[in-house]
Amino acid sequence: QPLSPCVAGERLCSTEEATAGSGTYTRHGFIFSSLAGCLERKNEDNELPVVSVVRDSESQLLPNVGAVVTCKVCSINSRFAKVHILYVGSTPLKSTFRGTIRREDIRATEKDKVEVYKSFRPSDIVLAKVISLGDAQSNYLLSTAENELGVVVARSEAGVQMVPISWCEMQCPRTHTKEFRKVARVQPQFLQT
């Protein structure tokens, strides 16, 4: 049967007619949808059908707490870097989510000595971990405190992709100028081509 679309919070049926499956919750004897998606009914061995709501493939994958995300730095100031989240894991996002990497979340050690402009620059591509879901502006708080997290792609002032030479520096292969960054020790599974 065709899947019917439903919105989050929509009342689907009573608990006497069906069992609540994934994407649903029960309240006061009724089953409600807990997310926007498509309603699915599955009959299993003459028991009550199981009602579940599946996100349609078009709907947005959201960055969850603990997810490793790839983001692009938009702007920096002395307290934090503002970023746009581009990927969750290796899945590209359809729409942009904003994130913030606060000064104290840039690295695990000597947090009080961290300087944002020595860690990130606008247009850097950074691997970060989601540490909390955002406020009303959907601004996610991100951390690069682990060794595997930090800048993975940065361009020098000459516009050339720089090469990491230590955990805190990258070098331009053309001009040999060194620039400070919080460099990620990249694990192969996170490399975006």
Per-residue pLDDT tens digits for 144-191: 999 999 999 999 988 999 999 999 999 999 999 999 999 998 655 545
Q: Cα 59 to the chain's mean position, in Å?
A: 15
Q: What distance in Å separates the CA atoms of residue 24 and residue 8, rounded to the nearest whole number?
A: 9
Per-residue pLDDT tens digits for 72-122: 999 999 999 999 999 888 788 877 789 999 999 999 888 888 999 999 999
Assess whether the region 4-54 and the region 67-150 belong to the same CATH fold.
Answer: yes
Mean pLDDT of 21-50: 86
Q: What distance in Å separates the CA atoms of residue 53 and residue 6, rounded to the nearest whole number?
A: 8
H or E element at residue 170? strand 169-171
Q: Cα 132 to the chain's mean position, in Å?
A: 10
Show Cβ contacts of residue 26 under 8 Å, excluding neighbours closer than 6 positions. 15, 20, 32
Least confident of 16-25, 46-55, 102-111, 176-185: 46-55
Instruction: Say if residues 54 and 75 touch (Cβ distance below 8 Å).
Output: no
Q: What is the pLDDT of residue 3?
A: 67
How far is CA 118 from each of CA 55, 167, 181, rounded to the nearest angstrom?
A: 41, 12, 5
CATH class of 67-150: mainly beta
CATH class of 4-54: mainly beta
Domain boundaries, the chain: 4-54, 67-150
Backbone angles phi, psi at 86, to 5 degrees: -105, -35
